[in-house]
Amino acid sequence: MLKFDEDQFLTRARSFLGLQPQIEEIVAGLSDVDAVFLIGSGGTYAAMWPYEHLLRRNTRIPVRSAIAAELVLSGDALLTERAVAVFASASGTTEDVIQAIEYCRARGVRTVGFTGIADSPIAQAVDSALITEPDAWPFDLGLLLFTTRFLSERGEFAGYDKLVNQLPAVPAALVEVARQAEPVAEAFAARHKDTDFHFVVGSGNLWGHAYLYSMCILEEMQWLHTTRVHGAEFFHGSLELIEPDTSVLLFVGEDETRPLMERVVRFSEKYSQATTVLDTADYALEGVDDEFRGLLGPLVMDTITSRISKHLEKQRDHSLDLRRYYRVVEY
């Protein structure tokens, strides 16, 4: 596979699973919280959405994902000593996140942070630091462990023990997903190496990844024009932009919102000959029961689209590390 280090991939993914005992200990101390905040910036903000979605559907206490910089300016009445705030940053140096941690701690909010750098500012700032392998991404396995344990402790998720017994099979299963996605990714990149506009659509716990892939990969890393649209909102204006040659990239998952995306698929395949459907149901997850497949959708989709990213980089001769402005100039 193009630029795929299997050993590194497995090591990074398994580093999240190694946090299980620490996560369980942290969650045990949160029995009295009456609000949960999932806070990030850019990609880590979008990465929180599947877990806001999961919590919101299962718990009666308020759950909010928040943009770090906006939260510091606007505040929130629920940010008190009875709240917990969860952060994530691969580098551990994201300034907006650091400021949000300081803002929360000044209000007595308990803070938890996932990062790959043990001595980073973010790891030092939070009450409880969850340290992965350096550059480990995505954060889904860690966030899934945290949120399902939190729900389990509250009696709102009955499948935790069964889930965590199956999660060790996930890293190897994702390697097989990457292998299966390789020809799909290569074909997409070859077809779209000169395409400069992409529609990206998702729903449910894949809406966050649609937002992330559009903004953080296609725009930031490939300088391509995109529009990102929620599957439920696609038919409220956005559909008018679809033409026969419009690239429409559809993220179809296995959660309860799948019918929303199936409707978009039917429309897009009728009116655009450049529709690409990425469906997590097409990929086997050896060792994982069907009841958990929907929860793992963000991880599966991230693995598939990561292969597309590598092939776009090659086909377009545009490094995924190249930036004009982000962390290059003052802003």
Q: What is the CATH number of the domain that holds 261?
A: 3.40.50.10490
Residue 130 lies in a domain: yes
141 and 30 in a common domain = yes
- Residues 127, 216, single domain; the answer is no
Q: Is the pLDDT of residue 200 over 90?
A: yes
Same domain, 221 and 145: no
With a pLDDT cut of 70, the percent of the chain lying above it is 100
Kindly state whether residue 188 falls inside one of the protein's structural domains: no
Which residue has tokens 């995109």? 226
Q: What is the pLDDT of residues 73-110, one digit of tens each?
A: 999 999 999 999 999 999 999 999 999 999 999 999 99
What is the domain range of residue 55?
A: 6-158
85 CB-near residues (< 8 Å, 6+ apart)? 36, 37, 38, 39, 79, 100, 101, 104, 109, 110, 111, 112
Q: Is residue 110 part of a domain?
A: yes
pLDDT at residue 331 in the model: 83
pLDDT at 133 exceeding the cut of 90:
yes
- Write down the pLDDT at residue 327: 87
Closest by CA to 60, choosing from 182, 164, 155, 173, is 155
pTM of the model: 0.97
The pLDDT of 39-60, averaged and rounded, is 97
Predicted pLDDT of residue 268: 98
In a domain, 112, yes or no: yes
Structure tokens at 107: 């209000």
- Looking at the fold, whether 11 and 132 belong to one and the same domain comes out as yes
